A and B are shown apart, each in its own frame.
Chain A
Amino acid sequence: MNTVLELKGISKIFAGTPVLDNIDLAFKSGELHALVGENGAGKSTLIKIISGVYHQEAGKVYLNGKEVHFATPNSAQKAGISTLFQEIQEIPEMTVAENVFLGREPRYKNSPIVDTKQLKSEAEKLVKRLGLNIDVSTKMRELPVSSRKMVEIARAMNHQASVVIMDEPTANLNAEEMAALFRMIDELKKNRTTIIYISHRMNEVFSLADRVTVLRDGKLIATLNNDQYDEKSLIALMIGRELTDLYPEREHSIKEVVLEVKNLSLGEHFKNVSFDVHKGEVLGLAGLDASGANAVTKTIFGLCGKPEGKVFLNGAELDIVNPSTSIKQGMAFLTEDRKTQGLFLNQNMVNNFTISALAKVFSNRAFMKKKKERLESNKMVDKLQIKTAGLHTRLSELSGGNQQKVMLGRWMLDRYKVLIMEEPTRGVDVGAKSEIYYHINKLAEAGLAVIMYSTEMPELLGMCDRILVFSGGELKAALSKEEATQESIMQHALVR
């Protein structure tokens, strides 16, 4: 196999800290090359250098043997390097077809006028070839998130690129779409396209990758063929130590009922849902898209207005109005989308930590206790082992895992009764994941009732005392730790 893309001695420094240190790496034609490593290992920085978003301090990039400098992502794209970014980059008011051909629309002869007919038919062809069930003339904003992601993938494929970079492509996809993505990947590989693949999901790396490169702290640790590693050795290389157990043991001491949900219904989202959560328990909520599981967590926290039915907190009826009233009554909520719904990215760590406990813990009447704020924030940085240059650091400057820890820390600064979590480790690397699980366990041991909605099955199985499975807006099964397996969950989760 010949080399398509080669990196020689790439180094990158941010604010005095080296984030990439002398990286030599060659990508071969037609291979799927996975980049793995913890958050902050330098994976994203590396692909941003390849795709022209960042520029290296030292080192050279060669494409087909020629040295290249990409001033912008656009010039990288023109040279045949197509990047599928983690966040969806679409124009919501345009149709699927227009989005797929964005920037390279078919024209009438050499005129600047777009040939809309050809645009539509080409897009239809592409969508069909990829096995997607999407009408190309719908507007992007009308599609669900997962379909939008698929259109994004189609767009990246449509560039006839020699190198396709995929950063966490499966993050928001359901099982069906994942299968479609993997078909696309096969097709790309058949056409001798090189794929650079970043994922935190180990099973994907194992089933897809021809070769794996491990990065740690900005250094290239190893590049291995797919017969040279197993899960354990790969994780050990990533974190630089043996990870004894991803899901740490918890002292099980499940006590009295804290939260009692009785015949809860919310419009078309879910009907007649009843369950209890005990003190010290971690209760899992599982379900496919639109199963209602995710709507239940949001509803209990007061994000969906007043539902039918009742919820009791320590025997007293919970007044569900909005997040503010829920927090006052002792409910805590870790949102699934930390960047748009959880964090204040342009603000420092203190502002991000203390906001929910502002009224109760960090103020006297209306006045702030600033010293206490800083002290407690510093303690939280220590406790959660957050990697940061200091409390003044803006959240946008932290890696995903550290951002997630700040979100968790926000709910550890006051005493709550129930902690609701959505996707507690989405986009978080193995090392930070294990630490977050450890703290969830500690919170449960300290007497919190934890409700955890997740689409990551191993996480639910590893962490939860019981798992409730939702399907079609109904609670289908409550599985104990012993009963719960991937198969038993799927069996109840599939709509019949």
Chain B
Amino acid sequence: MALQKNTFIKDKLILGIKEYMNELSIAALIVLITCISPLLSSVFLAGDNLLNLLRQTSYTAIAAMGMYFVILIGGIDLSIGATIQVVGMVSIMMLTSGYSTVTTIVCVVLIGLVIGLVNGVLVTFGKLQPFVVTLVTKSIMDGIVLVTTDGASISGKVPESFVKIGTEYIGIFPVPVVITMIVFGITFILMSRTTYGRRLFVTGSNKVASYNSGTNVRLIQISAYILCALLATISGVLTVARIGAFQPSTTHGGATGMELNAIAAAVIGGASLSGGKGSVIGALFGALLYGVLSNLFPLIGVNSYLQQLIQGVIIIVAVIAAGRNSSSSKIKLRKSNGGSHEYST
């Protein structure tokens, strides 16, 4: 049917709602939890706690937005937790030996770029599975951290300007929260307004078709891994700046296991591990939902072991719900038919 001009705005609206259905439902869920929270805990809605929640969320949110790019093109990056560790270690080592905050940050950003480049190049030119490549780079980086530190923490005199990044406020907001919003703004514009974003999106949907229509698929793929590592680096700097010291592996504030939290957030937000789906807002909201629950559970007396279990259940429910409302009846039937396609009749 030919489209009339007056359906134009309606079309744009449907386009918007259809595209952001998943994000809207997560936002609704977050609002719902917030609304019923006074019944459960009097502390949750207090200003201090909310700001603290946002700060806690910001580390995961930045990493999740980075992970979104890799998942979008049908890849995965298991090395971001290790990247955060390396960034933290190098930062503290440099700062305690007298390098300035600026030099240190420039240095770790370069390290982040190189990690992303290595992941991207191995996946693209080595024709290796992203899961395998990033598992290996994760293992190597974890090894480097343990060998260098001998498993012990590093501390010493760290410039105040560095610590401020993790602890200071801009207006009422903690610096990490402001940086999260800036990262969100940039990645959102990148995805929704630039040709690069469009190419990333369609490449995730069908690599061959994207190549045939003039995309440099290799470059796009490598760039996604670089973006992911870069955002992990930012997350790493913010994490270590809060504490002002570095402690390797498990005891450290959640760096190990960050990759799984980031993947979970992106997936809750509607990204699909087969690529070509999801949005930056989704990843942000996914991280926020995760943060809200992690914050709320201890307040209402859920113990941390049970908390893990409940979060797992929430992820699976969110993913199933996302699969429901974003796939049309046809696609669903296609899946249930064991991979047969619809025919052209």
- The answer on a CB contact under 8 Å between B212 and A43 is no
Partner-binding segment picked from A25-33, A142-150, A275-283, A398-406:
A398-406
Q: Give the residues in chain A near B12, CB-CB below 8 Å.
A: 374
Question: What is the bound-complex CA distance between A45 and B329, given in angstroms?
Answer: 13
Cβ-based interface call for A217 (8 A): no
Kindly report which residue of chain B lies nearest to residue A432, judged by CB atoms. Answer: B344
Distance (Å) between the CB of B331 and the closest chain A CB?
Answer: 6
Q: How far is the CA of A333 from the CA of B211 in the complex (A)?
A: 12
In the complex, whether A409 has a CB less than 8 A from a CB of chain B is no
A136-161 with Cβ < 8 A to chain B: none
Residue A89 contacts which of B1, B208, B339 (CB distance < 8 angstroms)?
A: B339
A19 CB to nearest chain B CB (Å): 10
Docked CA distance A489–B291 (Å): 69
Contacts of B309 in A (CB 8 A): none
Q: Verify if A358 is at the interface (C-beta below 8 Å from B).
A: yes
* Bound Cα distance A39, B344 (Å): 6
- Using CB atoms, name the residue of chain B closest to A427: B344
Interface set, chain B 160-211, CB cutoff 8 A to A: 193-199, 201-202, 205-206, 208-211
A44-B343 in contact (CB<8A) = yes
- Shortest distance from the beta carbon of A467 to any chain B beta carbon, whole Å: 25
| Complex-state Cα separation, A45 to B345, whole angstroms | 8
CA distance in complex: A73, B18 (Å): 31
Interface positions of B from 328 to 342, Cβ below 8 Å from A: 328-331, 333-334, 336-342
Query: For the complex, is B144 an interface residue (Cβ under 8 Å from A)?
Result: no
Stretch of B3-11, B28-36, B105-113 lying at the A interface: B3-11
Q: Is there contact, CB below 8 Å, between B345 and A367?
A: no
Q: Give chain A residues whose Cβ lies under 8 Å from the Cβ of B331.
A: 346, 394, 396
Interface residue? A431 (CB, 8 A): no
A323 touching B195, Cβ below 8 Å: no
Q: Which among A87, A340, A367, A385 is the interface contact of B194 at CB below 8 angstroms?
A: A367
A53 lies within 8 A of B333 (CB): yes
Check if B213 sits within 8 Å of A388, measured CB to CB. no
Cβ contact within 8 Å between B198 and A358: yes
Q: Given the complex, which residues of A lie within 8 Å of B212, measured CB to CB? A: 303, 323, 333, 335, 341-342
From A40, A328, A359, give the contact of B345 (CB < 8 A).
Answer: A40
A358 to chain B, nearest CB (A): 5
- Does B333 contact A54, Cβ atoms closer than 8 Å? yes
Question: Is B277 part of the binding interface, using a Cβ–Cβ cutoff of 8 Å?
Answer: yes
A185-218 CB contacts (< 8 Å) to partner B: 198
B15 contacts A by Cβ under 8 Å: yes
Residues in A296-350 with C-beta less than 8 Å from chain B? 303, 322-324, 327-328, 333, 335, 339-348, 350
CA distance A394 to B212 in the complex (A): 20
A459 within 8 A of B: no
B277 touches A391 (CB 8 A): no
Q: Does B2 contact A (CB under 8 A)?
A: yes
Contact partner of A356 (CB less than 8 A), chosen from B193, B214, B338, B345, is B214
The answer to the question of A175 belonging to the interface, with a C-beta cut-off of 8 Å to chain B, is no
Tell yes or no: B215 within 8 A of A by CB: yes
Give bound CA distance, A328 to B216, whole Å. Answer: 12
| With A390-B3, A396-B328 as contacts: A358 and B345 at CB distance below 8 Å | no
CB distance from A409 to the nearest CB of B (A): 12
User: Mask for A381-395, Cβ within 8 A of B = 1, else 0?
Assistant: 110010111111010
Is B66 engaged at the interface, CB distance under 8 Å to the other chain?
no
Closest Cβ of chain B to A450, distance in Å, is 18
- Residue A263 is within 8 A (CB to CB) of chain B in the complex: no
Residues of B within 8 A of A389 (CB): 1
> What class of interface size applies to chain B in its complex with A?
35 or more
Check A391–B11 contact: CB distance below 8 A.
yes
Residues facing B in A394-430 (CB within 8 A) are 394, 396-397, 399-401, 403, 410, 427-429
User: Any chain B CB within 8 A of the CB of A485?
Assistant: no
Is A292 interfacial (CB 8 A cutoff)? no
Contacts of A362 in B (CB 8 A): 195
Cα A363 to Cα B192 with chains together (Å): 12
The complex places the Cα of A345 from the Cα of B199 at a distance, in Å, of 15
In the complex, A56 Cα to B328 Cα: how many Å?
Answer: 17
**Cα-based distance from A389 to B193 in the complex (angstroms):** 25
The smallest C-beta distance from A364 to any residue of chain B, in angstroms, reads 10
Q: Are A382 and B340 in contact (CB under 8 A)?
A: no
Given known contacts A42-B345, A363-B195, A366-B196, is B206 in contact with A343 (CB within 8 Å)?
A: yes
With A339-B341, A366-B194, A367-B194 known to touch, is A374 a contact of B1 (CB < 8 Å)? no
- Residue among A42, A86, A303, A346 making CB contact with B344, cutoff 8 Å: A86
Known A-B contacts A335-B212, A341-B208, A388-B1; A368 and B198 likewise in contact (beta carbons under 8 Å): yes
Known A73-B337, A390-B11; judge A345-B206 contact (CB<8 A). Answer: yes
Q: Is B276 located at the chain interface by the 8 A CB criterion? A: yes
A11 within 8 A of B: no
A347 and B195: CB pair below 8 A? no
A347, B197: Cα distance in complex, Å: 14
Q: Does B14 contact A (CB under 8 A)?
A: yes
Q: Is the CB of B199 within 8 A of A198?
A: no
B199 → chain A closest CB, angstroms:
7
Contact A355 B214 (CB under 8 A): yes
- Interface-centre pick from B2, B338, B342 (highest chain A CB count, 10 A): B342
> Would you call A86 and B341 a contact (CB within 8 A)?
yes
Q: A367-B194, A368-B195 are in contact. Are A344 and B2 (CB under 8 A)?
A: no
Cβ-neighbour of B202 out of A323, A351, A396, A399 (below 8 A): A351
With both beta carbons as reference points, the residue of chain A lying nearest to B10 in the complex is identified as: A390
Instruction: Assess whether B340 is in contact with A87, with CB atoms less than 8 Å apart.
Output: yes
User: Provided the pairs A44-B343, A344-B276, A400-B344 are in contact, do residues A390 and B216 lie with their beta carbons within 8 angstroms?
Assistant: no
CB distance from B23 to the nearest CB of A (A): 16
Closest Cβ neighbor of A378 among chain B residues: B3
Partner among A168, A347, A381 whose Cβ is within 8 Å of the Cβ of B343: A168
Establish whether residues B198 and A390, one from each chain, have CB atoms under 8 Å apart when the complex forms. no
- Please state if B213 and A327 are interface contacts (CB–CB under 8 Å): yes
Residues of B within 8 A of A348 (CB): 15, 19
For the A-B complex with A53-B337, A87-B341, A322-B216 known, give 9 more contacts whose Cβ atoms are closer than 8 Å: A40-B345, A72-B336, A303-B212, A341-B208, A345-B205, A368-B193, A389-B1, A400-B345, A429-B345
A-B CB proximity, top 8 nearest:
A400-B344, A44-B345, A344-B205, A43-B345, A327-B214, A44-B343, A392-B15, A427-B344
Can you list 6 A-B contacts (CB < 8 A)? A324-B214, A345-B206, A351-B198, A358-B199, A359-B214, A368-B193
